[in-house]
Chains A and B, each alone.
Chain A
Amino acid sequence: MQCKQASEMMSTRLDGRLDEQDSALLDAHLAQCQACQNQWQKLQAIDRLLSSTSMVQSPVRVRVQVMTRLERRDQARRAIIGGTMLTLGTVALSLLLIAPVLFGLLNATGIAPVLIYGGPQALSHLLAVGENLGSTFVGLIEQLVIPLAILALCGLVSTLTLNGLWIGAMRRLRASR
């Protein structure tokens, strides 16, 4: 037997996976090879050291820390969902408010037929519409900025309140279990 093979067998023996036949071969090799015998003693020493070293005790706070981090993650997720819903709601409401004005403008300036049929007057019509849209947009912003701000604020306050109520309810539910 080669020393390399014997060396592999030593590790397998320490794992309790060396069969009787190989074990006998290893012992025969060890009996005649001083280098491998030294190696075997060193491996047994490290095996004894590791086997006699106990597990280390986890600090009790690990559970509390894990649960706190889970709760924080849930709160962050709820806040993101609430914020997204609020933003989408505000955008949708703004579009609903602006849409009739825009449609009215399109009809008033006759942009729809021009866009459909084209023609030499299309460019001047488009420019006129552009100007109208620009001035209307500025006007709209001026008129809508306060209602939109109030709307967003109301949405924010209601989302935060609902979030707070939800978290409070969850805490009470957990405490009661």
Chain B
Amino acid sequence: MTEESDWIREARAGDQNAFGRLVVAYQTPVYNLAYRMLGNKAEAEDAAQEAFLRAYTHLRSYDPNRPFRSWLLSIASHYCIDRIRRRRITWLPLEDEFAEPYHMTSKSPNPETVATQREQEEQVQGLLGELSPTDRAAITLRYWYDCSYEEIAEMLNLTVSAVKSRLHRARHTLAESLEGESTYAMQTG
């Protein structure tokens, strides 16, 4: 953490190399958030870059008493929410656009495992696509970043009770969709 504080301090003083180290440290969390929010690799990559550029621009407004990760994820979340709202067409998932899960790149799993994980990935992204942008952000921050209600509230500029009710609503929507998928699979399969 001390190393990270040094990088932040140096980056705030205009050292781009120090900021580059922060990018390396946080590129996977930021990219994963963008991917969960936007649903495809190309957009997620672009959004992750944009989030880092915005972070660099606003680095002087960062409060060092706040966790850097929360601050960065907050920027990325807001950017992705705005980006989804600006879309004119609804995103439709494409099979070849799904990203590789983190652990798949670190090990050498057998083809069956790969296929199962791809299927799960596709299913999760399809389900997340059912949610409103803010609900999607709340669920993503809760499940992939283990954020508390308070942290999510701060990141998304919501009240704690709003976060609670959004998570509740989102889970119910997802549960219904998942059940719908299972029923459909049973009928067709």
B-contacting residues of A (Cβ < 8 Å)?
7-8, 11-12, 14-15, 17, 39, 42-43, 45-47, 49-59, 61-63, 65-67, 69-71, 73, 174, 177
Contacts and interface: CB of A to CB of B under 8 A. Distances in A.
A52 B143 CA distance: 9
Interface stretch (B1-9, B67-75, B117-125): B117-125
B35 to A, nearest CB: 5
Contacts of A42: 175-176, 178-179
18 contacts: A7-B168, A12-B164, A45-B179, A46-B171, A53-B121, A56-B28, A56-B31, A56-B35, A57-B31, A57-B101, A58-B27, A59-B41, A62-B23, A62-B52, A66-B49, A69-B49, A71-B16, A73-B53
A70 B100 CA distance: 27
B105 interface: yes
Nearest to A61: B45
B31 A62 contact: yes
Contacts of A39: 172, 175
Contacts of B164: 8, 11-12
A66 B31 CA distance: 12
B91 to A, nearest CB: 16
Contacts of A7: 168, 172
Contact of B178 (A14, A46, A61, A65): A46
Nearest to B29: A55
A70 B23 CA distance: 12
Interface string B117-156: 1001101100100000000000100111000010000000
Interface string B24-55: 10011111100100000100110011001100
Contacts of B100: 56-57
Given A7-B172, A69-B49, A54 B56 contact: no
B31 A43 contact: no
Contact of A63 (B20, B103, B127, B144): B20
Given A11-B171, A62-B49, A57 B139 contact: no
Contact of A55 (B16, B45, B101, B175): B101
Given A62-B23, A65-B49, 12 more contacts: A11-B168, A42-B178, A46-B127, A50-B143, A54-B102, A55-B144, A57-B101, A59-B45, A62-B31, A63-B20, A66-B53, A67-B23
Contacts of A46: 127, 171, 174-175, 178
A59 B123 CA distance: 22
A53 B102 contact: no
B23 A56 contact: no
A62 B24 CA distance: 8
A45 B174 CA distance: 10
Which of A7, A39, A61, A66 is packed against the most chain B CB atoms within 10 Å?
A: A66
A63 to B, nearest CB: 5
A71 B31 CA distance: 21
Contacts of A51: 143
Which of B23, B35, B149 is packed against the most chain A CB atoms within 10 Å?
A: B23
B17 interface: yes
B81 interface: no
A155 B35 CA distance: 48
